[in-house]
Structure 1
Amino acid sequence: MTITVADVPDKGRFEARDDSGALAGVVTYQVTGPIVVYTHTEVDPGFEGQGVGSLLARAVMDDARERGRTVVPMCPFLGEWLDKHHEYDKLVARQTRRIK
């Protein structure tokens, strides 16, 4: 099974879908100028434990890097994921307080 992640700006989210088109998970966001706030990550229960959350996290962070954006990780999942993936440290606004 292949999971593909795509930005869906009309919905303000990135979507992860499997080969059949089933929605596996999403990351919602808000953009203001050069700042992107990732607000929520959700993985469908049928896809949990298969790395969908990590795939989404990497995709949204790579997108922010490509667009030259500063990331505010309001989503607890993404914040914890970033604690383990220091290759994205330069993109993250760490002065903000994460909501738990």
Structure 2
Amino acid sequence: MQGTEVHDDAERSAYEITVDGVHAGHAFRELRDGRTVFTHTEIDDAFGGRGIGGELARGALDDVRAQGGLVVPECDFLAGWIARHPDYLDLVDPADRDRVRALAG
């Protein structure tokens, strides 16, 4: 999406997305046992319905992939997004893959 940027907001333990330099949302995370656990995703109401959440998910997951990590998607939004984009399923900790696959229905 044009004008969006996803970056690591280490102070908030989250990935942040901006649209044309304006904060649009966060994907909050914790590091547990060497895995990135996504706990909650928030998109500002002003940016809802524009696919910003998907851009945030893609950017955050691409960063984890670049670092060679695994994720545990506790956040329902992120787990559902991965279920609809199975090319990201390899990033999910093997113990959680069946749960995420089931969300694809």
**Structure 1 length-normalised TM:** 0.87
1:80–1:94: structure 2 CA closer, same or farther, 3 Å change rule?
farther
Partner of 1:46: 46
Write the letter of the residue equivalent to 2:77: F
Tell me, yes or no, if structure 1 residue 59 matches structure 2 residue 66: no
Report what 1:86 is aligned to: 86
Aligned to 2:14: 13
Structure 1 unpaired stretches of 5+: none
Aligned length: 97
Q: Percent identity?
A: 37
Structure 2: distance between partners of 1:68 and 1:94: 14
The equivalent residue for 2:103 is none
Give the drift of 1:35: 0.6
Deviation, structure 1 residue 22: 2.1
1:16·1:23 contact (CA, 8 Å) conserved in 2? Answer: yes
RMSD: 1.7
The separation in 1 between residues aligned to 2:83 and 2:55, in whole angstroms, is 16
What are structure 2's unaligned runs of at least 5 residues?
101-105
**Aligned partners of 2:15 and 2:26: how far apart in 1?**
5
Segments of 4+ moved more than 2 angstroms? 94-98
Q: What's the TM-score once normalised by structure 2's chain length?
A: 0.84
